[in-house]
Chains A and B, each alone.
Chain A
Amino acid sequence: MNWLLDLTPDEWNAVRLSIKVATVAMLASLPPGILIALLLARGQFWGKTLLNGLVHLPLILPPVVTGYLLLLTFGKRGPAGAFLAEHFGIVFSFRWTGAALACGVMGFPLMVRAIRLSIEAVDRKMEAAAGTLGANPYWVFATITLPLMLPGLIAGAILSFAKAMGEFGATITFVSNIPNETQTLPSAIYTFTQVPGGDEGALRLTLISIVISMAALVASEVLARRVGRRMDIE
């Protein structure tokens, strides 16, 4: 069992980096994810189908294409990338933040789908009742809609996290495979498989990857069940 935890510093870094990247990608996706899910679930506007298609693009495009598009847009000379670097000092290219961006974008459709379903399941009559009790639309959202859609929110967040843990194609295309900066677990495993005698390291990281993903899944189940029990909707 010991050989499993006996990781080299570079391997540890890959594990830590992966968790960091996945967590940041998930947290940063949540606010826009909720907003877009709300728009798609409740909004009546021109271009709704287009927005829905855009959100789902990362799911249907080859990851390499998504990564390349990110490179064109958020790279050093890309329009968004140059703007953000100049005005806010945020640089994505060949940084771990870029890996988080790539992972967040790739997991975004999964997150939005889960949240949208949970919003559509919220009983709008409850919101109307809250309104008659004096709550304005923002309070209604915060005290009724958000708590009632919590199970779907958790599911969406975990899906996004899991996707980020496994994301490879877009990340490596956008920010390359730099140890300690952009080398996440999948990239590290890939690197091991490319060198002679790297099988043991690849297997170690593979097992760790499985453990982390399973832990996230179990955590989400426990959390969702606790929330569900608290609500007890007949």
Chain B
Amino acid sequence: MTVLVDISHRVGDFAIDVRFESAGRLTALFGPSGSGKTTLIDMIAGLIRPDKGRIEVDGRVLIDTGAGIFVPKHRRRIGMVFQDARLFPHMSVASNLRYGRWFTRATERYAEMDAVVELLGIGPLLDRRPAKLSGGEKQRVAIGRALLASPRLLLMDEPLASLDEARKAEILPYIERLRDETKIPIVYVSHSVAEVARLASDVVTLAQGHVIASGPTEAVMQRLDLLPAEERGEGGAVLDTKVLHHDAVFGMTVLGSAAGEIRVPRLAMNTGARVRVRIRARDVMIATEKPTGLSALNILPGTIVAISPGEGATVEVGIDCNGAAVLARITEQSRQGLKLRLGGKVFAVVKTVSFDRANTGVGLPAEADG
């Protein structure tokens, strides 16, 4: 399953010139507002016709301006979840969910009502009217409605942007389930590092209508210089780990990663479950000797593989911890004081409490599982 986008388009003074290809399970289109993400996703859905270019989903050409091909949106079978949900106000939740089914040929239908209702936990809402739902419930219904049209690709346009933190936390697990339990590839638009680091397998970073980075999430999230200014503090390493065991005495969970054991606040997950953690660069300290008499519980040995100037008086230090990349942001003064240089052996120190809810999510299944 691949999505190929190669288009150029102009809206007033704003030019979009984008080319990317992704075979990821959940590809994030990531960038600050005004970078062209939504325009791009609207083109994939068929809501906007690009001036020039080509879009392919799974080998099927949806747009090829050179060959004069433009598949109208209702024949693309691409599901879309909008930021503002857009549930039909004159229909019940159940009718909203069934809407797309009418227009899907029986042979192409794979989504089952019961399974989708169960997946999203929307059983109790079926008889209600959209106006009587909370923001989080609306988004879950909107996701279900898109799924039940049995799409070949699911587009999600900042589905959490208009929700508060509590509602976001309510929906994120459902999107993780969607990513892991269905076969539908997802393209997810977001400007939030937290969401992208938690959900995405692949990231395409956009700025001013151009792709400035693309690749696996772990790699792209390390490029702090490419993050939008207001999100830079959120950037850092993304590690895929497994639950080793729970520490009942101290209420912690011990995760196994390539870098070594990581202790995080207790997670409600079974032993062996995949967990993705984000370690913000600003939360990582560097020690040149194994520290003692320190409250931080996670001390990961590694080798410095990159040092690059950061914002202001900071530097960003890349540390290879037995194959896992960890990023630290420290001051230039600390770097000189510790005489850090490439190839130096150091310890990355991370406090357990810096792994809050927003920084831990369900890890992606290994490709072999899916």
Contacts from A to B (Cβ < 8 Å):
125-126, 128-137, 139, 143-144, 147-148, 230-234
Q: Complex Cα distance A61/B72, Å?
A: 45
Between-chain CB contacts (< 8 Å), 13 pairs: A126-B88, A129-B86, A131-B46, A132-B46, A132-B76, A133-B149, A134-B74, A134-B75, A134-B77, A135-B74, A139-B103, A148-B89, A148-B90
In B48-97, which residues have CB < 8 Å from any A CB?
72-80, 82, 84, 86, 88-90
Is B99 located at the chain interface by the 8 A CB criterion? yes
Q: Which residues of B contact A132 (CB under 8 A)?
A: 45-47, 73-74, 76, 78-80, 146, 149
Q: Which residue of A lies closest to B108 (CB)?
A: A134
Main DSSP-derived SS at the A contact region: helix
Q: Complex Cα distance A134/B78, Å?
A: 9
Q: Which residues of A contact B47 (CB under 8 A)?
A: 128, 131-132
Give the Cβ gap from A144 to chain B, nearest Cβ, in Å.
6
Q: Complex Cα distance A11/B151, Å?
A: 64
Give the Cβ gap from B68 to chain A, nearest Cβ, in Å.
20
Give the Cβ gap from B94 to chain A, nearest Cβ, in Å.
15
Q: What number of B residues sit within 8 Å (CB to CB) of A?
A: 30
Q: Which residues of B contact A144 (CB under 8 A)?
A: 88
Give the Cβ gap from B96 to chain A, nearest Cβ, in Å.
10
Q: Which residues of A contact B86 (CB under 8 A)?
A: 125-126, 128-129
Is B357 located at the chain interface by the 8 A CB criterion? no
Q: Complex Cα distance A135/B82, Å?
A: 17
Q: Complex Cα distance A97/B130, Å?
A: 45
Q: Which residues of A contact B19 (CB under 8 A)?
A: none
Contacts from B to A (Cβ < 8 Å):
45-47, 72-80, 82, 84, 86, 88-90, 99-100, 102-104, 129-132, 145-146, 149
Contact of B132 (CB < 8 Å), options: A125, A126, A232: A232
Q: Which residues of A contact B88 (CB under 8 A)?
A: 126, 129-130, 144
Give the Cβ gap from A150 to chain B, nearest Cβ, in Å.
8
Q: Complex Cα distance A139/B131, Å?
A: 23
Give the Cβ gap from A234 to chain B, nearest Cβ, in Å.
5
Q: Complex Cα distance A192/B72, Å?
A: 63
Once the chains bind, are A231 and B79 in contact (CB under 8 Å)? no
Q: Complex Cα distance A135/B103, Å?
A: 6
Q: Complex Cα distance A125/B89, Å?
A: 12
Once the chains bind, are A125 and B84 in contact (CB under 8 Å)? yes
Q: Which residue of B lies closest to A233 (CB)?
A: B89
Q: Which residues of B contact A128 (CB under 8 A)?
A: 47, 73, 86
Give the Cβ gap from A54 to chain B, nearest Cβ, in Å.
33
Q: Complex Cα distance A139/B104, Å?
A: 13
Once the chains bind, are A136 and B131 in contact (CB under 8 Å)? no
Interface centre among A134, A135, A139 (most CB of B within 10 A): A134
Give the Cβ gap from A212 to chain B, nearest Cβ, in Å.
31
Extra pairs beyond A130-B99, A134-B103, A232-B129 (16, CB < 8 Å): A125-B82, A131-B46, A132-B74, A132-B76, A132-B80, A133-B149, A134-B75, A135-B74, A135-B99, A136-B74, A137-B74, A144-B88, A148-B89, A231-B89, A231-B90, A232-B130
Once the chains bind, are B131 and A232 in contact (CB under 8 Å)? yes
Once the chains bind, are B82 and A129 in contact (CB under 8 Å)? yes
Once the chains bind, are B77 and A234 in contact (CB under 8 Å)? no
**Given A148-B89, A231-B89, A232-B89; A134-B80 close (CB under 8 Å):** no
Give the Cβ gap from B232 to chain A, nearest Cβ, in Å.
33
Once the chains bind, are A234 and B131 in contact (CB under 8 Å)? yes
Contact of B73 (CB < 8 Å), options: A131, A147, A232: A131
Give the Cβ gap from B144 to chain A, nearest Cβ, in Å.
12
Q: Which residue of B lies closest to A125 (CB)?
A: B86
Give the Cβ gap from A5 to chain B, nearest Cβ, in Å.
41
Interface centre among B73, B130, B149 (most CB of A within 10 A): B73
Once the chains bind, are B90 and A147 in contact (CB under 8 Å)? yes
Q: Which residue of B lies closest to A136 (CB)?
A: B74
Q: Complex Cα distance A134/B102, Å?
A: 8
Give the Cβ gap from B295 to chain A, nearest Cβ, in Å.
49
Give the Cβ gap from B274 to chain A, nearest Cβ, in Å.
32
Q: Which residues of A contact B100 (CB under 8 A)?
A: 133-134
Once the chains bind, are A133 and B45 in contact (CB under 8 Å)? no
Give the Cβ gap from B44 to chain A, nearest Cβ, in Å.
10
Q: Which residues of B contact A133 (CB under 8 A)?
A: 74, 79, 99-100, 103, 145-146, 149
Q: Which residues of B contact A126 (CB under 8 A)?
A: 86, 88-89
Q: Which residues of A contact B74 (CB under 8 A)?
A: 131-137
Q: Which residues of A contact B78 (CB under 8 A)?
A: 132
Q: Which residues of B contact A131 (CB under 8 A)?
A: 46-47, 72-74
Q: Complex Cα distance A200/B82, Å?
A: 65
Q: Which residues of B contact A230 (CB under 8 A)?
A: 90
**Given A125-B82, A125-B84, A129-B82; A134-B90 close (CB under 8 Å):** no
Q: Which residues of A contact B89 (CB under 8 A)?
A: 126, 148, 231-233
Q: Which residues of B contact A129 (CB under 8 A)?
A: 80, 82, 86, 88
Q: Complex Cα distance A147/B45, Å?
A: 25
Q: Which residues of B contact A125 (CB under 8 A)?
A: 82, 84, 86
Once the chains bind, are B131 and A233 in contact (CB under 8 Å)? yes
Q: Which residues of B contact A130 (CB under 8 A)?
A: 88, 99
Q: Which residue of B lies closest to A227 (CB)?
A: B90
Interface centre among B46, B47, B74, B84 (most CB of A within 10 A): B74
Q: Complex Cα distance A148/B45, Å?
A: 24
Give the Cβ gap from A37 to chain B, nearest Cβ, in Å.
19
